[in-house]
Amino acid sequence: MTRQSDNQWLVRRMTDDDIDQVLAWRNHEAVRSYMHTQHEIKRAEHTRWFEQACADPRRDLLIFESQGVALGYVNFHQTAQGRTADWGFYAAPEAPKGTGRNMGQAALHYGFTELNLHKVCGQVLAYNERSLRMHRSLGFQQEGVLREQHFDGQSYHDTVCFGLLAAEWQLNT
C-alpha cells in the first residue's frame, strides 16, 4: 500500500469487494469511450478477467482512495523483461476535478517504490485530451505516435505512446 499522508490519498490492491464498483466505472460512457475496447462488459466477462489477472504475477490491480472513498482504478502490467510495465487507469466518472493527476502520482509512487519498476509506459488515444495532459504533467516523455492504430468501428485514430523512467520520476519527486 502507498499512502501520501498529507493528502490522505492511497493506492491499495483491488479485492473481490471492488469488482462491482470497477465494472460500473469501466462501463460508464465517460470511461468506455476512451478505452481501446469499447463494448459493454458483462459481469461474467469481468469476473473472469479479474480472476485471471489475480493469478498473473505480472499484473497489479490497484484502487485509488482519497479520504477513504474509492475514486479510481489503476493497473500495471509487466509485459517486458527488466521491470517495464504498461499502465492503464480510469477515474470514477463522478470524481472531483484533479483526481486523475492525484491518482497518477499515487500510483507511480507505488509502481516505482513497491513494485520497483524501471519504466512505466502509457498508450493514449489521440483524442483523449485529459489523459494526454495528465501524462505530460506527470513527467512522461512522448516516445512516438502509432498512426491510425485504433479502429473504433467507424474511423481510425492515432495512439500516442508515452514512457517514464524511474530515474526521471525520482528527479521530479
Ligand X SMILES: CC(C)(COP(=O)(O)OP(=O)(O)OC[C@H]1O[C@@H](n2cnc3c(N)ncnc32)[C@H](O)[C@@H]1OP(=O)(O)O)[C@@H](O)C(=O)NCCC(=O)NCCS
Q: Which long-range contacts (CB under 8 A, 24 or more apart) does 30-39 make?
A: 30/93, 31/90, 31/93, 34/90, 34/125, 34/128, 34/131, 35/90, 36/123, 36/125, 36/150, 38/152
Q: Using the rule CB under 6 A, which residue among 98, 127, 152, 172 binds ligand X?
A: 98
- Rounded to the nearest whole angstrom, what is the least distance from the CB of residue 101 to ligand X in the complex? 4
Site for ligand X contains 154 (CB under 6 A): no
Site for ligand X contains 34 (CB under 6 A): yes
Q: Using the rule CB under 6 A, which residue among 7, 8, 79, 137 binds ligand X?
A: 137
Amino acid at 21: Q
- For 53-95, give the secondary structure using H, E and C: HHCCCCEEEEEEEECCEEEEEEEEEEEECCCEEEEEEEECCCC
- Rounded to the nearest whole angstrom, what is the least distance from the CB of residue 89 to ligand X in the complex? 6
Kindly indicate which of the ranges 9-17, 130-138, 148-156, 160-168 contains the residues binding ligand X, using the contact rule CB under 6 A.
Answer: 130-138
- Rounded to the nearest whole angstrom, what is the least distance from the CB of residue 95 to ligand X in the complex? 6
Q: Nearer Cβ to ligand X, position 51 or 98?
A: 98
